[in-house]
Structure 1
Amino acid sequence: MRTFAILAVVTTLLSGCQTPDWRTASREPAGIAPDPATTKDAVIEVYAADAFSWRGWFAVHTWIAVKPVNASEYRVFEVVGWRVDSGLPALREYSTDTPDRYWYGARPDKVLSVTGAKAQQLIPKVTAAIARYPYANDYKVFPGPNSNTFPAWVGQQVPELELELPFRAIGSGYISD
């Protein structure tokens, strides 16, 4: 009976993934980011979505998006572990008009949204902090540095963001004051 209970728990955890294959998992926009075609103000947003597969039961993946005044796209910054396995930096940057895409099947939540004059003032500080991120080429699931260490570090460098990551942002405590 005990073996059956353990097997049931393991099966439940492994089936907790939104989709079993990352290649076919949704990467559609969630529709929660201001549309850069109609939003002229500066925008800074931080998103969190359940990590892929069974890890999503315990942890989230986080990323930062910035859009300067009148920009037609966001610049998205995130740390991704499999890039390191491929010989690339963990920290990646890309441009998109949909920074709120699902994280491989998991709908993101908005953790932080700063708009207008405050965002315009903070974007240079945020991008300068990102350029100084000390673990851009490193990734370790636990205890870090990982995808949650990155925005936590940026938040420490730019305290005016008042960034508070969710409890499940495992690795956000990797850095210290």
Structure 2
Amino acid sequence: MLALRVFLWFFLLAYLLPLAISAALYLSSGSGAGWRIADRSSAGLLPPAATHRPALVRVFAAQTVRWRGIFATHCWIVFKPEGAAGYTRYDYTAWGEPIRMNGFEADGRWFGHAPETVFALDGAEAAAMIPALQQAIAGYAWRERGHYRAWPGPNSNTFVSAVMGAVPGLGVVLPPTAIGKDFPWDGRWLRRTGSGTGVSLTLGGYAGITLGWVEGIELNLLGAVAGLDLRRPAIKLPGLGRFGMPGQTLETPAAPHRTAAAG
């Protein structure tokens, strides 16, 4: 009985309370403009492509549309080869062909919600990474109409997790609000984490646990993630996201432009 009481208190404080606070914040902010007319303009997070010669890779995340924004964010990938005159953006959506290329501004607001930068890499390392990302996008298994499922996946966050996971040791950690990031996109329920510093167990995306030096400790219950980052101390809460030190990779001389700003 003691163990049950401890679990119930943990579930209340780590899951239900953060989601209730997120719902209250959503209701107090109002519903905003309808999704058809919501602002999708650039948030100014990227330099003009024509004047930024180095290769570039970004992962962005923004609060998703309508009531689902209480607990979920939408993630997408942007890259630009060296010298390219424009950015290429990839989203995975519920309408039309699931994998959507350049359907929106590269750093555009997601139906009124400004994105945050989850991962950023420029220069030679970004240039070397882009072919692997392109190959992962081309080979993504869940690419047909009807494959998209908002919960537990495969959804937009599953797609980004799979593509970024194609680069061994990269260690991009999506925000705890990226519902679907733990869906087993390749059928494996037990795997090494993307950083190679831990392991992740998922029960079809409905529940699971991740333990890793870069990823920290994450407990997934019905897609909602709570956890701790020990390397860069922070707590992760469903609906509310990350609180603590930024989840960025420390810069090194070999990778002076790499950051992972959220997760």
Please report the TM-score for the alignment, with normalisation by the length of structure 1.
0.84
Q: Which has the higher strand share?
A: 2
Q: Give yes or no for the alignment of 1:174 onto 2:202.
A: no
Match of 2:119 in 1: 112
Q: Give yes or no for the alignment of 1:89 onto 2:102.
A: no
Task: Decide whether the 8 Å contact of 2:59 with 2:117 is kept in 1.
Answer: yes
* Helix, strand or coil at the partner of 2:51: coil
- Structural mapping, 1:1-177, within 5 Å: 13=26, 16=29, 19-81=32-94, 83=95, 88-94=96-102, 98-137=105-144, 138-175=147-184, 176=189, 177=191
* Helix, strand or coil at the partner of 1:100: coil
Q: Which has the higher helix share?
A: 1
CA shift, 1:159, in A, is 2.6
* Helix, strand or coil at the partner of 1:157: coil
Task: Give 4+ residue runs of structure 1 displaced > 3 Å after superposition.
Answer: 9-18
Q: Which is higher, the Rg of structure 1 or of structure 2?
A: 2
Aligned residues, how many?
163
* Helix, strand or coil at the partner of 1:159: coil
- Which ranges of structure 2 fall in alignment gaps of 5 or more residues? 1-21, 192-263
Percent of matched pairs sharing the same residue: 37
Report the RMSD for the aligned CA atoms in angstroms: 2.1
Which is bigger in relative contact order (C-alpha 8 A, separation at least 6)?
1
CA separation in 1, counterparts of 2:79 and 2:149? 25
- Which ranges of structure 1 fall in alignment gaps of 5 or more residues? 1-8
* Helix, strand or coil at the partner of 1:112: strand
